[in-house]
Amino acid sequence: MLLLPHVNGYEIMKKKTLLSWSSGKDSAWALHALRHDPHINILGLFSVVNQKYGRVSMHSTRLQLLQRQAEAAGLPLHIINIPDQCTVECCDTIMSDFVQESLLRGIESMAFGDLFLQEVRTYRENQLRGSGIIPIFPLWGTPTAALADQMLTAGVEAYISCVDPKKVPASLAGRQWSRDLLRELPKDVDPCGENGEFHTVVVGGPMLRKSIPVHIGETIERGGFVFADIVPSN
């Protein structure tokens, strides 16, 4: 832990922390929240990337854009490469190795941008149980309508990179996540897409030192999902 000077008469020990970086708005907002937490010292980001395609799973974010995000956030990026069609057991082994490597580097906690899916939180807690690294969920339980409004008010810029066409119109792929878009969503759709209705790629906001210019490339359907390619413009 990093020992800080006295704050209001108390010594604050800052936990050395890595943040799980999906490339989307929720992990970006988790970074923003953690930077305002006097108990946390963010030392880097880590992302799971499909090794065959060089993209973040589900978000389908290009590795080049992922690296641009980390650069704009001013943090080192740790890539966890996962083989295509990797089994759960394979993923668990790869992640366990990364956790142990992080522990040896002095990491004390790992943070995640999950909002309310208990099974996802339990899975992450089980991955870290007994490792010596503590899981942190800075956004957990925040009402998602209020959270979406907070993010948009703060200037978060994000594009929808993946949609589940069984839950939302396929035409939303490639659209900017905005208040206008939220008003178009079916009533039963979470405004942050936490139930898997859609995934985003963040390109701007208070957690980034500068916005990342992008354009919308090809839109394809694969595996029952619709993906829009969010491409860095330069």
For residue 52, give the CATH number of its domain: 3.40.50.620
**Domain containing residue 41:** 2-232
* Lowest mean pLDDT, pick from 82-86, 129-133, 200-204, 223-227: 82-86
List, in sequence order, the alpha helices (H) in 35-168: 63-73, 88-104, 118-128, 144-153
8 A C-beta contact, residue 146 and residue 27: no
- Count the neighbouring beta carbons within 10 Å of the beta carbon of residue 132: 11
Q: Which residues pair with 2 in a beta bridge?
A: 14
* Interaxial angle between packed helices 88-104 and 118-128, expressed in degrees from 0 to 180 and rounded to the nearest 10: 50
- Check whether 5 has a pLDDT greater than 50: no
Number of domains in the chain: 1
Q: How confident is the model over 55-95, as pLDDT tens digits?
A: 998 899 999 999 999 999 999 999 999 998 888 899 999 99
Distance of alpha carbon 28 from alpha carbon 19, whole angstroms: 9
- Check whether 146 has a pLDDT greater than 50: yes
**E-state strands within the chain:** 2-3, 13-20, 40-50, 55-56, 77-82, 109-111, 134-136, 157-163, 198-204, 214-222, 225-232
The per-residue pLDDT for 13 is 81
Q: How confident is the model over 97-142, as pLDDT tens digits?
A: 999 999 999 999 999 999 999 999 999 999 999 999 999 999 999 9
- Check whether 180 has a pLDDT greater than 90: yes
- The CA–CA distances, whole Å, from 46 to 9, 42, 102, 116, 153 equal 34, 11, 10, 21, 27
The per-residue pLDDT for 88 is 86
What the block records as the tokens of 128 is 């870290």
More confident residue, 51 or 35: 35
- Check whether 53 has a pLDDT greater than 90: no
pTM of the model: 0.92
Query: Which residue type, as a one-letter code, is found at position 206?
Result: P
- Average pLDDT rounded to a whole number, residues 155-180: 97
- Check whether 10 has a pLDDT greater than 90: no
Distance of alpha carbon 140 from alpha carbon 55, whole angstroms: 26
- Count the neighbouring beta carbons within 10 Å of the beta carbon of residue 84: 9
Q: Are strands 214-222 and 198-204 parallel, antiparallel or unpaired?
A: unpaired
pLDDT-derived band at 12 (thresholds 50, 70, 90) equals: low
The per-residue pLDDT for 86 is 84
- Count the neighbouring beta carbons within 10 Å of the beta carbon of residue 22: 26
Distance of alpha carbon 117 from alpha carbon 159, whole angstroms: 22
